[in-house]
Amino acid sequence: MAKTLDTFYRSQSLIYKYFLYFLTIGAIVFFFPKGGQFKYEFQKGKPWQYENLYAPFDFSIRKTEAELQAERQQFQRDQVPYYRFDTEAAREVYRAYEELFPEYFPGTGLSARQIGVLRQQGRAILDSLYLRGIWDGSDPPLSREVYLVRNNQARRMRFDSIYRMDALRNTIRDLTESVGIPADQAEFRELLLRIAEPNVSLDQELTGRELENQLSGISLTRGNVDEGALIVAKGEVVEGESLKKLESLRAEYASEVWSANNYYFILSGYTILVALVLIMLLLFLKRYRPDVFRNNVKVTFIFFNILVMVFLTTFVVKYNEALVFVVPLCILPLILKTFFDARLGLFVHVLTVLILGFVVPNSFEYIFLQIIAGIVTILTVSELYKRANLFISVGQITLIYILGYFAFNIIQGGSLDNVVWVNFGFFLLNGMITLFVQPLIYIYEKMFGMVSDVSLLELSDTNSRLLKELSNKAPGTFNHSLQVANLAEAAANEIGANAMLVRVGALYHDIGKMNNPTYFTENQTTNNNPHDELAPEKSARIIIKHVIEGIEMARKQNIPDRIIDFIRTHHGTTLVYYFYKKARERDGEDPDEKDFRYPGPVPFSKETAILMMADSVEAASKSLVNPTYSIIDEFVDKIIATQMQAGQFLNAEITFKEIETVKKVLKQRLTNIYHLRVEYPE
């Protein structure tokens, strides 16, 4: 059981990679469109580049979205709206007429017969008004004809045959004259105007329901293509009827292939292809980037960025495939080059583009343009912390997109007639979005604890809080750190290591000396050495402790782990030899080395190895008296040979040739530092 747990513990990093690998495959396949892949690529207005295509099965020609929208709009224009006739409102008007008539005509001046005739004439006018109805005027007229719903029966009639409330005064005047009522009977007309109420209004619910019924009945297809019928001939321009047939065949093919019977076959095909792409990535990391492969955070970071790009592209394609070039895919190599290196960035970019080839339309054109743009990104982008460099690189990337797309259209169409000019705007928008890589890099630094050149540039500022405190409390150590930074940076440039990272690591590697600055010789301004009063073991503990205290200070100040690595490894597991020798002379025998040895670990990268060499050489060079070229040469060789014999560089992946180059740079720099000036005569 214990052996099994031990094996599991030692294999947990590999188990995590397996889990991440399969999780990424599942997520990518999930994002893929749920349909079979149509094996032909075509574009509107471009010649058909394959052999004559015949219908493999019967299928219907689907209407385009524009055609369906035109039919919907035509239905909306031709729709006859429904208006509701309120019979209860008409009864209320008649009731009001009978109640108010005696108030207007009390019986004086007119005979009973005349009043009776007048009452009958008023009823006749109301009958005329409410036979057609009075429109309330609340909604604008929707058409010339309407359905008037009365007593649950709809009758089609002209809209202008319904009386309007806003023209009722003129209508009543015309009706009173038509029945023979004298023009001087103004009181009678006022009575009719007072009691008249609208009783016809638009029935929006019924009108909308009827429109929905009509729209739902629109056919999505028009005509059929029989099996074996010619769809498009070789060299024929894909447009008009042939374009509609091809689009219908593609949609039908996807829906027929992606069925319940073969769902798992297609799914397994997608899974195998994506798995092959991702296994290539893992093999590349294991073979050529073992430091990245061993770091699960970095592997997760790479897979996460691939997933983000796949998700964005598939989302845009599902929304509107015409916007596919708006997705800033070149952000991927930009970010990976920033945190890793150019070769890894390009390799991951190419693999991601291959995956997206299953998703995008015109996959060959898309893959070609994206790979070319990715290569340009890798070749042009450098020193992102310089703002102008990013703008220049993005401009070059956008230009490559435009030129590549332009060339494809000339090749396929033979002219400029079929160029979709709006795509150039999409390329410009792509470039503008790519500029947001700077804040994205900052977010990734916080999420994954990684360090970019921009952050390194900020950390290299000697006016930062921590370095300012170092210069105040331990000025000798601060000057030593500056000298080491210059030496290490020069050496890193010679062997192709990360010079900016080495410089920043050198500036911070001795910050732990701030707690006890006078115990370190570079900060002692008098001949009074506090170590003279201490036992060698205690002095060694104070010297060794500056590494641990430096790590703690850096963590409190949120210094990135990659910089803390330099603090942790700049002495490796070497001995504090001076005090070890002093203890041996005191006791007459070898003391316990554990009391005099740094805790380590040893350097595990080229950069940390360079810092160890530069730090030791610069510190020891202070003891040189009247140095010469031969003395400096022998001095540097001796120090670095001692470190190599102690096995300090075994994990650093630095070659003998690179160590010799570092030694050469250190010798040259020390020679320049100690070179005597020519004495000028007074």
Is 681 a member of any domain? no
Residues 641 and 492 in one domain: yes
Residues 434 and 468 in one domain: no
Residues 603 and 460 in one domain: yes
Give the pLDDT score at 676. Answer: 43
Is 193 a member of any domain? yes
Residue range(s) defining the domain that contains residue 324: 2-35+262-442
Is 398 a member of any domain? yes
Residue ending a domain, among 413, 442, 471, is: 442
Residues 591 and 474 in one domain: yes
Is 43 a member of any domain? no
Residue ending a domain, among 387, 410, 442, is: 442
SS3 557: coil
Residues 293 and 420 in one domain: yes
Each residue's pLDDT tens digit, 359-401: 887 788 889 999 999 998 888 876 666 667 778 888 888 998 8
**How far, in whole angstroms, is CA 649 from its chain's centroid?**
40
Tell me the residue length of the chain.
682
pLDDT category of residue 254 using cuts at 50, 70 and 90: low
Residue with tokens 């059929």: 224
Residues 90 and 15 in one domain: no
Report the C-alpha gap between 266 and 100 in whole angstroms: 83
Give the pLDDT score at 405. Answer: 84
Each residue's pLDDT tens digit, 293-351: 988 999 999 999 999 999 999 999 888 877 888 999 999 999 998 888 889 999 999 99
Residues 579 and 548 in one domain: yes
Each residue's pLDDT tens digit, 256-305: 555 555 667 778 888 999 999 999 999 999 998 888 898 899 999 999 99
Query: DSSP of 576-610, one letter per residue?
Result: -HHHHHHHHHHHSSPPPGGGGB-------SHHHHH
From the list 545, 518, 523, the residue with the least C-alpha distance to 533 is 518
Query: DSSP of 51-118, one letter per residue?
Result: S-EE-SS-EEEEPPHHHHHHHHHHHHHHPPPEEEE-HHHHHHHHHHHHHHHHHH--SSSS-HHHHHHH
Residues 132 and 273 in one domain: no
Do residues 489 and 502 make contact, with C-beta atoms less than 8 angstroms apart?
yes
Each residue's pLDDT tens digit, 507-561: 999 999 998 898 898 888 777 888 888 888 898 899 999 999 999 999 999 888 8
pLDDT category of residue 585 using cuts at 50, 70 and 90: confident
Give the pLDDT score at 338. Answer: 85
Is 315 a member of any domain? yes
Give the pLDDT score at 417. Answer: 64
User: Domains in the chain: how many in total?
Assistant: 3
Give the pLDDT score at 19. Answer: 93
DSSP class of residue 660 equals: H
Higher per-residue confidence, 40 vs 596 = 596
Do residues 661 and 494 make contact, with C-beta atoms less than 8 angstroms apart?
yes
Residues 434 and 459 in one domain: no
Average predicted confidence (pLDDT) for the chain: 83
From the list 62, 37, 43, the residue with the least C-alpha distance to 244 is 62
Residues 426 and 558 in one domain: no
Cα–Cα distances (Å) from 337 to 392, 451, 465, in that order, read 17, 12, 29
Q: Is 481 a residue whose pLDDT tops 90?
A: yes
Each residue's pLDDT tens digit, 117-167: 777 888 888 888 888 888 877 767 767 888 888 888 888 888 888 888 877
Residue ending a domain, among 215, 247, 276, is: 215
From the list 363, 361, 332, the residue with the least C-alpha distance to 347 is 332
310 Cβ neighbours under 8 A, 6+ residues apart: 27, 28, 31, 352, 355, 356, 359
Give the pLDDT score at 648. Answer: 92
Is 237 a member of any domain? no
Task: Extract the runs of DSSP E, i.e. beta strands, from 176-334.
Answer: 200-202, 221-225, 230-232
Residues 434 and 476 in one domain: no
Residues 560 and 652 in one domain: yes
Is 236 a member of any domain? no
**Residue 520's domain is classified under what CATH number?**
1.10.3210
SS3 185: coil
Report the C-alpha gap between 650 and 671 in whole angstroms: 29
Is 100 a member of any domain? yes
